[in-house]
C-alpha cells in the first residue's frame, strides 16, 4: 500500500508540473536569468565564492561569471548580502523545481560592467571609473541596479499567469525580492545626503540617475524612482520605496523591458551589459533569433 501511495503522489506531482501551460512555463523560467545574476553577485560580493563552490548542481554546467569579486564590505553589510545570496540560491532551486529552466548563462559582473551603467546614468565617463567592489556604499549602489528590476518583472508577470502553481511561486519570489529592495533602499537612504568620493555627487542623486536610465532603457514610461523626489516647485521629499503614488502599487515591467535594461542596450534583440551572449529561456531567445 505504501508503494501505491508513493507512486500516486509522484504521479500527482509529475502531472502538476506537466499541467503548467506553456505561457506559465516561459514566464517562470525567464526570471531565472536575474536570479542567477543576483546569486553570483551577492555570493561573491559577500563571501568570495559563488554557485560553483556552494551549490554546483544549480549551475547546470553553465559558464562561471566574468569579473565578479569579493567586495570590501563592513561586517553588517557583508552579513546582509550573504543572506541575500542564500535567498537567491533558494529562488533558483524553487524555479528549477517547477520548470526545467536552463543552465547558468554567461554573465559579465566585472567592475567595468557596473562602471558602464553608472557612466550611462551620468551621460559621461566618471574618473576614476566607478568600482562596485570598493566599499559598502559603492556595493549598495551597484546592488540598487538589480533586485528592483527583478521585482518589477515579477509584478509585470502576475496578471499573465494562469495556474495557482505559477502564481504561488511568483508571489513568493516577489515578496523576497521586494524585501531585498527595501533593505537596500533603507541602507542607501541612511546615507542619501552623503557625497560619493571622489565624484562629489550625493547618493540620492546617483539613485535618481540610475532610475532615470532604467526608465529610458525600458522605454515604457515611468517605472523607476530614486530615493528623493524633487517636485516642480523644487521641494525635496523622501521616497524610501518606489511606486505609482496614486494607488501605491509597485510598477510592473514586461520581459522585453527587463531585457532592454539588463542588456544596457535598450533593445531586447541586442544582448550586452550583464548578459554578453544574451539571456536564456524561450522569451529571451526568441528575440535573439529574430535579430539574426
Ligand atoms: C544538489 O546538491 C545538494 C547537496 O549538495 C542536494 O541536496 C540536492 O538534492 C542536489 N540537487 C539536485 C537537483 O541534484
Ligand atoms: C540556453 O539553455 C539551454 C538549456 O540549458 C542550453 O542548451 C543553451 O546552450 C543555452 N544557450 C545559451 C546561449 O546559454
Ligand atoms: C565585460 O564588460 C566590460 C565592460 O563593458 C568589457 O570591457 C569586457 O570585455 C566584458 N567581458 C566579457 C567577457 O564580455
Ligand atoms: C498611476 O496609476 C494610475 C491609476 O491606475 C494611472 O492612472 C496612472 O497613469 C499611473 N501613473 C504612472 C506614472 O504609471
- 157 touches 167 (CB < 8 A): no
Q: What is the pTM of this model?
A: 0.91
Report the pLDDT value the prediction gives residue 11, as an integer from 0 to 100.
Answer: 42
Question: What CA–CA distance (Å, rounded) separates 217 from 149?
Answer: 12
**Which amino acid residue places its CA nearest to atom 10 of ligand 4?**
244
Q: What are phi and psi of 127, to 5 degrees?
A: -125, 130
Q: How confident is the model at residue 234 (pLDDT cuts 50, 70, 90)?
A: confident
Distances (CA, A) of 10 to 4, 13, 163, 164, 167: 10, 5, 19, 19, 22
DSSP of 27-85: HHHTTHHHHHHHHHHHHHHHHS--HHHH-GGGSTTPPPPBS-------HHHHHHHHHHH
CA of 202 to the centre of ligand 4 (A): 29
**Which amino acid residue places its CA nearest to atom 13 of ligand 4?**
222
Distances (CA, A) of 4 to 7, 9, 73, 134, 249: 5, 9, 53, 58, 47
Nearest to 111 by CA among 139, 133, 140, 144: 133
- Best residue for ligand 3 mutational test, from 40, 41, 63, 66 (most atoms within 8 Å of Cβ): 66
Average pLDDT, the chain: 92
CA of 57 to the centre of ligand 2 (A): 16
Nearest to 131 by CA among 45, 191, 190, 60: 45
CA of 56 to the centre of ligand 1 (A): 9
Report the pLDDT value the prediction gives residue 20, as an integer from 0 to 100.
Answer: 95
Give the pLDDT mean for 113-140. 97
Least confident span in 49-53, 66-70, 244-248 = 244-248
Spatial neighbors of 207 by CB under 8 A, at least 6 apart, are 141, 144, 188, 192, 226, 227, 228
Q: How confident is the model at residue 114 (pLDDT cuts 50, 70, 90)?
A: very high
Q: What is the pLDDT of residues 151-207, one digit of tens each?
A: 999 999 999 999 999 999 999 999 999 999 999 999 999 999 999 999 999 999 999
b or e along 115-124 (b: 16 or more beta carbons within 10 Å of the residue's beta carbon)? bbbbbbbbee
Q: What is the pLDDT of residues 55-84, one digit of tens each?
A: 999 999 999 999 999 999 999 999 999 999
Q: How confident is the model at residue 292 (pLDDT cuts 50, 70, 90)?
A: low
Amino acid at each position: 500500500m505504501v508503494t501505491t501511495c508513493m507512486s500516486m503522489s509522484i504521479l500527482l506531482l509529475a502531472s502538476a508540473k506537466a499541467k503548467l501551460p506553456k505561457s506559465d512555463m516561459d514566464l517562470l523560467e525567464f526570471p531565472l536569468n536575474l536570479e542567477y545574476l543576483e546569486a553570483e553577485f551577492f555570493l561573491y560580493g559577500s563571501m568570495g565564492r559563488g554557485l560553483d563552490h556552494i551549490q554546483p548542481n544549480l549551475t547546470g554546467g553553465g559558464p562561471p561569471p566574468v569579473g565578479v569579486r569579493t567586495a570590501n564590505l563592513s561586517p553588517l553589510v557583508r552579513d546582509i548580502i550573504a543572506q541575500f545570496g542564500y535567498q537567491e540560491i533558494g529562488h533558483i532551486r524553487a524555479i528549477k523545481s517547477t520548470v526545467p529552466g536552463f543552465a547558468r548563462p554567461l554573465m559579465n559582473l566585472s567592475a567595468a560592467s557596473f562602471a558602464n551603467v553608472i557612466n550611462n546614468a551620468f551621460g559621461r565617463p566618471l574618473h576614476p571609473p566607478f568600482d562596485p567592489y570598493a566599499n559598502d556604499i559603492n556595493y549598495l549602489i551597484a546592488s540598487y541596479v538589480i533586485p528592483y528590476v527583478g521585482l518589477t518583472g515579477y509584478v509585470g508577470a502576475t496578471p499573465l499567469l494562469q495556474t495557482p502553481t505559477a502564481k504561488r511561486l511568483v508571489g513568493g519570489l516577489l515578496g523576497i525580492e521586494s524585501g531585498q529592495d527595501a533593505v537596500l533602499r533603507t541602507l542607501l537612504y541612511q546615507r542619501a545626503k552623503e557625497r560619493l568620493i571622489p565624484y562629489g555627487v550625493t547618493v540620492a542623486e546617483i539613485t535618481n540617475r540610475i532610475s532615470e536610465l532604467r526608465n529610458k532603457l525600458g522605454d515604457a514610461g515611468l517605472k523607476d524612482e530614486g530615493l528623493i523626489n524633487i517636485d516642480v516647485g523644487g521641494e525635496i521629499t523622501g521616497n524610501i520605496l518606489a511606486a505609482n503614488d496614486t494607488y501605491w502599487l509597485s510598477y510592473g515591467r514586461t520581459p522585453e523591458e527587463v531585457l532592454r535594461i539588463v542588456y544596457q542596450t535598450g533593445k531586447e534583440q541586442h544582448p550586452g551589459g550583464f548578459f554578453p551572449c544574451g539571456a536564456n529561456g524561450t522569451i529571451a531567445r526568441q528575440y535573439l533569433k529574430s535579430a539574426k
